[in-house]
Chains A and B, each alone.
Chain A
């Protein structure tokens, strides 16, 4: 199912990575932010929404990344280069991520920054939308978000262009062992 997800997600210009442990994923995140140039300056900020992943790793490592903040405002998110959040499910047949995004921070970090990094426990992988809709509960989740690749448009002459209002890049990080958290 992971391979199908990867093919479909990459087909819509998402970047897909997979790690065995939360520590490896943490290493990737730190390297990624360094490589992209996350820093304490406008346009280069990193922003991260609170998520279970943070309790699986040494939070201090992330807190040590210059420019990355966990205490969010819309202005900071709007001036961020990288936004990081954890999502709940993935749908293999379309390469889609699904998140209970009721908490506004989850949306700020995934809509406003240029790059969205989405963390997901591999155990959240499902075959398709009916499987996810059977689990997602709109009684508690007032905002369910599905994300398939980066923001795109073809409104001018039907030419596909990536990154209109939302992120220009979507980086998906699967983590096999995330302490049973889905």
Chain B
């Protein structure tokens, strides 16, 4: 990671205004968004949008042709360009031909993308942004930090300073007063402008229409008052049918600002009369700028389904800490990372793609049904493929890919780690450059005896009706073997014999999440061979990240690499794979496993692990098990927001991971529950380590440990 990038993160994290404003907004957004979508089948709606936008992305050229034909028939001038330079030149040419001295603009990310303002200003034309947020950042000489709310990173005090300078009068930071100032300042600019420039939220091919969505009313003026209107529209905004406007506008305002509809929607389908009795000159620029390249990529074509609502920014636990500017100058957040990689070049996303912790929160809310974290992973894979890994990473993954060496090192670490544990189960401080790793969080000590050595010593009852292969994963195997022991005990009581194939190794998630797909594929092959070698009814894991690897990612990795040979076996494994809580819940439901009755175990709160909730969709089984066991489950605030662990994320960006963890700890403590449960040993490592340093004394447990104490078995 580049030094300047790390510095920009550092600046953002230390900007209390920024993190305060964004934090408050993201908390309110979640509640308001849910309210705005009340009574709406979001899945059905986003499927409709994804289908119609996906279809449009498959026919960009045809839709451009159709748009051009229909718009020109109405008297609209249509200009098509691949290259930002051509777009800028065209706009300047139209301005020069018409003697344009001053331009008013309504918010347009497409013009931000091509850095239009400085170009026109250099040519001696006055350019005024009229969206309040855009005007603020224009006056401040900044770039938007958010697609929908460009000045969300600024406080009212900062805005009043900027406005005071502009109007040469000391203004207070009273927001309604500041808005009035903007209204008064903007009015003469609207009235004297010779040209209006807008973006376009939707472009309809069958009618040659451009739809604009705003709240302030500035787009209505930009499209009404000046004699010339130029709309700059990215070709991903094209849809075929006029009726497609409705589903997109059902989602866009709800997802963007939690509104049922914005104050204004303007659909321009041709030139209109001007107030001096003439006709307006209407230009629509259809801009490609690598969008067709995206459409031609079987994976990234999906990104063209974006309707630019920015909900992926609003729910991102990283964005709310660092804001938009860390991501770059134009598009920010999750989708911004993907767009930057294409509109700019893959290399430009090298640093920012690393900001994604892969929690999947954005994928859940995306109205275009875009697998944003999946595409960021693909960027990672391609970067590694193009540029190779760093030497450090390479050596790590060489080790991980060799099971014997890897496991040998982990065993050695149990001895080597001793000086840092001071006889506890934690490593509280690491020396020198590793110190960040234990900043705000203790690390677990490597177990003296890994689960693979303990397993042969466990006596299991004979003649059990079913068999399950247990996939431990590195953390349970080497740090928390007691979780493995608890799992064996529970499954045995439920009539399931546990098998532990020694050949199992790292699930490959660390390699995959770092773009090292070849390593991940190697891990997948080893595990498939080991886990399918034994005849069993289930393959069970108590680590959701591992479960996701077995259940989804082995297949995805092979597909990405075009390795078809192992796909049938990967699918066979996926079909057998189950997470711990889902399997145990099934055993309880079938009456094969009984939990002690009438227990009153008191309050507990539950932390949703990202992979369990969002990929495996198994957030209810653990809650039901804990409730059945006698716990009173009290939900914490933001129970399903990432704990900041994210595998090696804590190593690469500990400065971001740490404040995410602190929020989680606070939310847990606020419930006043003495115990917090979760289904992921990685989350246990993060949260237990955090609680250790926090000293709050909340007991952090994997569900498996709590359930093991509460089972009644026929064999007991």
Contacts and interface: CB of A to CB of B under 8 A. Distances in A.
A95 B253 CA distance: 14
A164 B131 CA distance: 9
A164 B179 contact: yes
Interface string B139-153: 000000000011110
Closest 5 pairs (CB-CB, A-B): A166-B217, A155-B133, A142-B270, A146-B265, A138-B269
Interface of B: 21, 24-25, 28, 74, 130-133, 136, 149-152, 154-156, 159, 175-176, 178-179, 182-183, 186-187, 190-191, 204, 207-209, 215-218, 220-221, 223-225, 242-243, 245-246, 249-250, 257, 259-275
Contact of B264 (A103, A142, A147): A147
A152 interface: yes
Given A104-B274, A129-B245, A142-B74, A152 B220 contact: no
Contacts of A167: 217
A60 interface: no
Given A128-B246, A144-B267, A148-B264, 18 more contacts: A12-B259, A102-B273, A103-B273, A104-B224, A104-B272, A107-B224, A138-B269, A142-B74, A142-B270, A145-B265, A146-B265, A146-B266, A151-B217, A152-B215, A155-B132, A158-B21, A163-B179, A163-B183
A130 B216 contact: no
B246 A165 contact: no
B250 A111 contact: no
Contacts of A41: none
Contacts of A157: 21, 155-156, 175
A133 B246 contact: yes
Contacts of B155: 157
Given A142-B74, A142-B271, A164-B132, A158 B25 contact: yes
Given A153-B216, A156-B175, A144 B269 contact: yes
6 contacts: A12-B263, A102-B273, A142-B270, A153-B132, A165-B221, A167-B217
A107 B74 CA distance: 20
A94 B265 CA distance: 12
A158 B179 contact: no
A129 B249 contact: yes
B96 to A, nearest CB: 25
Tell me what chain A mostly uses at the interface: helix, strand, loop, or mixed: loop
Nearest to B76: A142
Interface residues of A, number: 51
A165 B183 contact: yes
Given A74-B225, A133-B245, A142-B272, A147 B179 contact: no
Contacts of A139: 207, 269
B260 A165 contact: no
B260 A8 contact: yes
A155 B149 contact: yes
A112 B221 CA distance: 8
Most chain A beta-carbon neighbours within 10 Å: one of B131, B151, B179: B179
Nearest to B241: A133
Contacts of B156: 156-157, 159
Nearest to A111: B220
Contacts of A108: 224, 275
A129 B247 CA distance: 9
A149 interface: yes
A150 interface: yes
A141 interface: yes
B207 A96 contact: no
Given A138-B242, A138-B267, A155-B133, A94 B151 contact: no
Contacts of A78: 187, 191
B173 to A, nearest CB: 9
Contact of B218 (A74, A149, A154, A164): A164
A144 to B, nearest CB: 4
A150 B208 CA distance: 28
A73 interface: yes
A10 interface: no
Nearest to B217: A166
Contacts of B178: 156
A161 interface: yes
Contacts of A155: 131-133, 136, 149-152, 216
Give the most central of A74, A107, A148, A156: most B CB within 10 Å: A156
Nearest to A159: B175
B272 A102 contact: yes
B225 to A, nearest CB: 7
A157 B499 CA distance: 57
Contact of B263 (A73, A130, A166): A166
A138 B151 CA distance: 34
A138 B207 contact: yes
B536 to A, nearest CB: 52
B149 A143 contact: no
A74 B191 contact: yes
Nearest to A143: B272
Given A133-B242, A156-B175, A145 B220 contact: yes
B275 A143 contact: no
A103 B208 CA distance: 19
Interface string A50-65: 0000000000000000
A152 B263 contact: yes
B175 A147 contact: no
B267 A161 contact: no
A93 interface: yes
Given A96-B261, A142-B268, A143-B266, A165 B207 contact: no
Nearest to B135: A155
Contacts of A12: 259-260, 263
Nearest to B25: A158
Contacts of A75: 191
Contact of B261 (A130, A134, A148): A148
**Most chain A CB within a 10 A radius of its CB, from B136, B152, B209, B224:** B224
Given A95-B260, A104-B273, A164 B216 contact: yes
Given A103-B273, A148-B264, A165 B186 contact: yes
